Amino acid sequence: MILPFAPLSMSFDSVNYFVDMPSEMKALGVTEGRLQFLRKVTKAFSPGVLIALTVARGVGKTTLMDVLARRKTGGYIEHDIRISMLPKKKETFARISSYFEQTDIHSPQVIVKESLIYSVFSRLPKEARYNEK
């Protein structure tokens, strides 16, 4: 099995994410129909570069990553996401990307490289040769 590797860039422009306004907020007099969690988030990632989102708690890091990975099943998403300048296809995105959620449990006894190796070995088929992994 040959696993080709092609470095790909990723960009997203004006990512917005909304949910229906909770009834509790409507009861307090809020008149908007939607509650916005992400507003016009724009960024580009270069191939081969490890990205760490390290900003304050509650700003939307996990929400942004879930929206980009299409893990959000509810709400309303508006975006322009591109992989190497081509529109992102949901069917292939999971095969070319990965991220560690903040709830992932990592052993304090292993280094980052070992965690990444574990991830590769758990995702790729066992038929893949060691040096390909």
Residuewise pLDDT in 10s, the chain (133 residues): 565 677 888 899 999 999 999 999 999 999 999 999 999 999 998 887 877 788 888 888 889 988 888 888 889 999 888 888 888 877 667 666 776 665 556 677 878 788 778 777 777 777 888 777 7
State the pLDDT at residue 104: 56
State the pLDDT at residue 106: 63
Q: How far is residue 51's CA from residue 60's CA, in Å, rounded to a whole number?
A: 16
> DSSP assignment of 70-108, as one string?
T---SSEEEEEEEETTEEP-HHHHHHH-----TT----T
State the pLDDT at residue 4: 67
Question: Do 67 and 15 contact (CB within 8 A), yes or no?
Answer: yes
Instruction: Output the CA angle 77-83-20, nearest 5 degrees.
Output: 5
State the pLDDT at residue 126: 79
Question: Do 32 and 62 contact (CB within 8 A), yes or no?
Answer: no
Residue ranges per domain, the chain? Answer: 10-88
Predicted TM-score (pTM) above 0.85: no
